[in-house]
A = this chain, B = another copy of it.
Amino acid sequence: MESDTHLDHEELASLTAEAWSDHLATLPADEVRAMLAQVEPDRLAEVVRMLDEETAGRVIGLLPPERAAAVLSHLPDETAAAALGRPALQRAAEVVQELDPDDAADIVAEMDGRQRDALLEASGDAGDVIEELLYYPEDTAGGLMTPEVLSVRRQWTVGEAIDAIRRRAMELEQIYYTYVVDRDDVLIGVVTMRDLILAPTIALIDDVTKPEVVSVSVDTDQEEVAEVISRLNLLAVPVVDHEGRLVGIVTVDDVIDVIQEEASEDIQRLVGAGADERIDSPFLYALRMRFPWLLVNLATAFAAASVVGLFESTIAKLTILAVYMPIVAGQGGNTGAQTMAVVIRGLALGEIPVGQGRRVILRELGLGLANGLAVGLFTAAIAQLVSGRPGLGMVIGAAMVLNMALACAFGALIPLGLRRAGFDPAQASSIFLTTVTDIVGFTAFLGLATTALRLGWI
């Protein structure tokens, strides 16, 4: 096995997950170190994701602290926490000291209380900073921010500000924006690096400060922080406490993660999967997150079935109704889902101002009606041709127009209503929608059929 350590770059790149796992778990420490030294942190993070906890911990323990920190910052928080919990305490503390405090806080938040306390205690000053960050909920600006932010005073010169940046350049997460505060640390403006290098070094900060600085509060929701940074094309946004004092900064890279997270949440919540389930989440976690919504869906399915039950005698008279029944319900479900997808993205992108909901619902009702007329007419013609019953064609066509129009209206109404009621607009929306389209579809189709039968039209 010795020759394995002489793997070159290309050979390393083509190693399978199993081979990596095997090498990292069994080779002597020196050889593992030599292997690891050849791989970039982001690629290494992909490898560590596939390892069992113990081997992942070994890798983190054997890497130089700075590289270990870089690898951890590319991992999902739970995976990083599990790996960081393995090496000796002093070693783990060295890694913590190399992490950006906001990343470190997210990772240690996943550890159990005693392990976390011991690790932060061992991490000295860095531990104290992280401890403070843990105070804020993870999905707020406070939970997202790093407290390492440079502030200057308006009385300083540009030269003094540049010197201050230079002194702290290595620890600052970004140096592009420098924030101006008053004597109480209250945020009063911002100076960009562009302003600083354009101004003469003896100019006063006051002369280059832009007073209209956009900030967020420690308890601003992360989605809103992302919206501000993305709308204003910022590289970072300052975070202030309730007295307006500058306490940290959220950078654009954290916001990208938030946007990706929210996109996953929207699409997964829509169908009742766990908002933060990932493709490599534990089996039981995935099961536990999905199961309750399947039960909700079952309950709504029974409600729809009981509608069908009301018309059992009609179906007994004309069993072909059972054949067309799913078509009416299914088309409603599909067209309503189209509406819902567009509305949920509109809400996520902030494109539907409060008060504009009615306009959106009416537009969708119109779309549903138009598509319903086209699809309904087409289906009616086919049903009539195939079954040889003109009455059946008319019943199915009318039921489809009604169901598709209402499906689109409800496809907009459900997420808008959920938002107004203070819930996530995507939460299980598609389950609620299917309930509506099944019940409306079955009632309209079987109800019309019952009447038509009674009148002798079918």
Contacts and interface: CB of A to CB of B under 8 A. Distances in A.
Given A342-B273, A345-B267, A283 B330 contact: no
Number of copies: 2
8 contacts: A46-B353, A170-B194, A255-B256, A267-B270, A291-B371, A294-B335, A297-B331, A325-B326
Interface string A243-277: 00000000011011101100110111011110001
A253 B371 CA distance: 37
Contacts of A320: 309, 312
A121 to B, nearest CB: 29
A176 B197 contact: no
Contacts of A175: 193-194, 197
Contacts of A346: 278-279
A387 to B, nearest CB: 10
Contacts of A302: 327, 382
Say which size band chain A's interface belongs to. Answer: 35 or more
Interface in A366-391: 366-367, 370-371, 374-375, 378-379, 382
A431 B334 contact: yes
Nearest to A446: B322
Interface of A: 42, 46, 74, 162, 165-166, 169-170, 175-176, 193-194, 197-198, 229-233, 235, 252-253, 255-257, 259-260, 263-264, 266-268, 270-273, 277-280, 283, 286-287, 290-291, 293-295, 297-298, 301-302, 304-306, 308-309, 312-313, 315-316, 319-327, 329-331, 333-335, 337-346, 348-349, 351-353, 360, 363, 366-367, 370-371, 374-375, 378-379, 382, 430-431, 434, 438, 442
- What 3 A-B pairs come out closest when comparing CB atoms? A279-B346, A263-B263, A322-B322
A160 to B, nearest CB: 13
A263 B346 CA distance: 11
Given A322-B308, A342-B279, A235 B235 contact: yes
B326 A268 contact: no
A291 B378 CA distance: 12
A229 B253 CA distance: 9
Contact of A279 (B166, B360, B438): B360
Nearest to A328: B301
Given A197-B166, A301-B327, A264 B345 contact: yes
B312 A322 contact: yes
Nearest to A172: B194
A334 B42 CA distance: 35
A300 to B, nearest CB: 8
A325 B348 CA distance: 36
Q: Pick from A297, A304, A322 the residue with the most CB of B within 10 Å.
A: A322
Contact of A297 (B198, B278, B330, B374): B330
Q: Pick from A198, A271, A351 the residue with the most CB of B within 10 Å.
A: A271
Given A233-B253, A271-B341, A345-B268, A330 B295 contact: no
A303 B128 CA distance: 64
A326 B304 contact: yes
